[in-house]
Amino acid sequence: MHVRKLPSGSWNVVAYAGYDRKTGKKYRKSFTGKDLKAVKAEAAAWEAERKCSSDALGVAMEKFINGNEKMLSPTTVNGYNAVLHVLRDRHAWFYALPLHRIGTAELTRLVNEMDGSPKTVRNRLGLISAAMKASGYTMPQVRTPQVPVPDLRIPDSDVVRKTIAAARETDPELWVCIMLAATGPLRAGEIAALTIDDLDGTMLHVHHSLAMGPDWRYHEKAPKTRSSDRYIDIPPELADAIREQGYVTHWTPQRIARRFRALLRDNDIPPYRFHDLRHFAISEMLSQGIEEIYIAERSGHADYATMKRYTHALGNHRTEITRRINENFQTLFQTDA
């Protein structure tokens, strides 16, 4: 409430209750009278009446997911539904709370009860915030766990070469997938969505991805970000291999990962994920001194900040790079004789 005394001597009280979904402005109503206590009571009654009509959080979340399903990727819808089930099954007390009763204390209790990584907790709170906002409420602030910088698992060159050699001898289709990830660097979903028509000479157009939908089937979707729609000039040998087999792959991302694990196991190669080939390709380009703008363009990253995650992978190259930097700066200390 906002209370002020008017020049006439009367009291003006403005009551607030939620937000208008269309305009984003607060719902408000003004009450005026000579008796401050009576005016405040009238305003409080109006606020209570409006707030009592608010949905429970679970209902608001379902409305938000269903109302935005066509605009969200299948993967996002799956993730949102998973959060909905977690709250309903493990935190029923919070799931059933009316939106107007969700405050900092309730959110703090929820965060303390939640299991999972800091990123998982933050993702769940993100959906709660979006559902509340769509219903005209603002989620109160709450302290959340700090998300650590992910420790990327990047296989070394020898392991990747052994993997490529094993696939070339035993599984040509998997070899194509591995090479696209290790040189592209493409994601498994992007590889699975490629067709022979996306290849023109050595230029590959990456503009779709396969993602698991709410029906637990794979669906083709638009790229993860605008920068993920890109053209990549691949090695001629790889382009020829794709044309020779007449397709890129018939496998889903899940099948690619399963065949990849089997290849490592059958050839006594230390286990790592198929997606780690993408990390390998990016770290290799960084170690070669290729500018980040070109790496981000080839990998489909939305921003260059992501590149910082790979700097630790430069290893011994950092010493050489530091030497070159210092040599360049040394010229600033030189004076003419």
* pLDDT mean by block of 10 residues, the chain; 337 residues: 87 76 67 90 78 77 89 84 93 91 91 89 93 86 76 82 94 96 92 96 93 82 77 92 95 96 96 92 81 82 63 55 61 56
Where, residue-wise, is CATH 1.10.443.10 in the chain?
A: 157-320
CATH placement of domain 57-134: 1.10.150.130
Please tell me the predicted confidence (pLDDT) of residue 330: 64
Rounded to 5°, the CA angle 217-218-223 comes to 145
Please tell me the predicted confidence (pLDDT) of residue 16: 76
pTM for the full predicted model: 0.62
| 1.10.10.10, 1.10.443.10, 3.30.43.10, 3.40.50.740: CATH of 157-320 | 1.10.443.10
- DSSP letter for 54, please: P
Instruction: State how far the Cα of 269 lies from the Cα of 266, in Å rounded to an integer.
Output: 8
Q: How many CB atoms lie within 10 A of CB 285?
A: 20
Where, residue-wise, is CATH 1.10.150.130 in the chain?
A: 57-134
- The alpha helices in the chain, defined as continuous H runs, are 36-52, 57-68, 74-90, 92-95, 104-113, 118-134, 157-170, 172-183, 188-193, 236-245, 253-266, 276-287, 292-299, 317-330
Instruction: State how far the Cα of 190 lies from the Cα of 25, in Å rounded to an integer.
Output: 41
Please tell me the predicted confidence (pLDDT) of residue 324: 59
Please tell me the predicted confidence (pLDDT) of residue 222: 79
Please tell me the predicted confidence (pLDDT) of residue 302: 64
